[in-house]
Amino acid sequence: MLTTRRLGKRYGEKRVLRKIDLDLPRGGFLVVTGPNGSGKTTLLRICAGLAQPTEGKIERAATRAQVGYLGHEPLVYRELTALENLELYGRLYRLPERRERIGMLLERFGLWEARHERVVSYSRGMTQRLALCRLLLHEPELLVLDEPYSALDEAGAELLDAQLSELSGERTFLLSTHDPARVDPLASDRLALAV
């Protein structure tokens, strides 16, 4: 699903990644760990197609429509409601049964009641749950998750746990975290980055 060879990234004169070799088969679950500043986010952004490597090669067996990315930002408009945000993404991803899918996800992540409220009025945990809805909306084949647990409360984290175990094996995962124990049972591969 995802292969990188001697992948490197520098921003001008600053080197953030060097010589990363990855082999993530379809259905694999790679957990990336490392201290702050070790390039986790950069690596994940490159794998999601948001950034280009400056050295080495990357091959991704998924189109842009098949990649799901969850970063530090929820990537939703705060002035729009949850429903409007998901409608926008549903249109952009050209989902055939948009309404049903959005309704199901909102229901599952406990946001159905708040669907007509603007995201600006949401708590941090609710916003992150909406971000998860956005991530799963188009049923991506390759899921790139950058510290997905960071903004979630315990209930939200458990919801995410359930989602991950449901989809693992079937979908391909690339996940970075400070708490590898949490996803340890799912992990098929591990990568530790150093500063």
Query: Which residues in this chain contact another protein in the complex, by CB under 8 A?
Result: 11-15, 48-52, 54, 63-65, 67, 69, 71, 73, 75-80, 84, 88-89, 91-94, 118, 134
Least Cβ distance, residue 13 to another protein (angstroms): 5
Taking the least distance from each CB to another protein, the nearer of 77 and 178 is: 77
CA separation, residue 37 to residues 156, 164, 176 (Å): 27, 26, 13
- CA pair distance 180, 137, nearest whole angstrom: 26
Least Cβ distance, residue 154 to another protein (angstroms): 26
Q: Tell me 99's DSSP state.
A: H
Q: Count CA atoms within 13 Å of residue 163 on its CB side.
A: 21
Q: Are 70 and 148 in contact (CB under 8 A)?
A: yes
Nearest to 144 by CA among 76, 54, 34, 66: 66
Taking the least distance from each CB to another protein, the nearer of 93 and 149 is: 93
Taking the least distance from each CB to another protein, the nearer of 29 and 89 is: 89
Least Cβ distance, residue 158 to another protein (angstroms): 26
Least Cβ distance, residue 190 to another protein (angstroms): 26
Angle at which helix 154-167 crosses helix 124-136, to 10 degrees, equals 10
- CA pair distance 174, 40, nearest whole angstrom: 11
Taking the least distance from each CB to another protein, the nearer of 47 and 180 is: 47
Least Cβ distance, residue 120 to another protein (angstroms): 9
Taking the least distance from each CB to another protein, the nearer of 111 and 134 is: 134
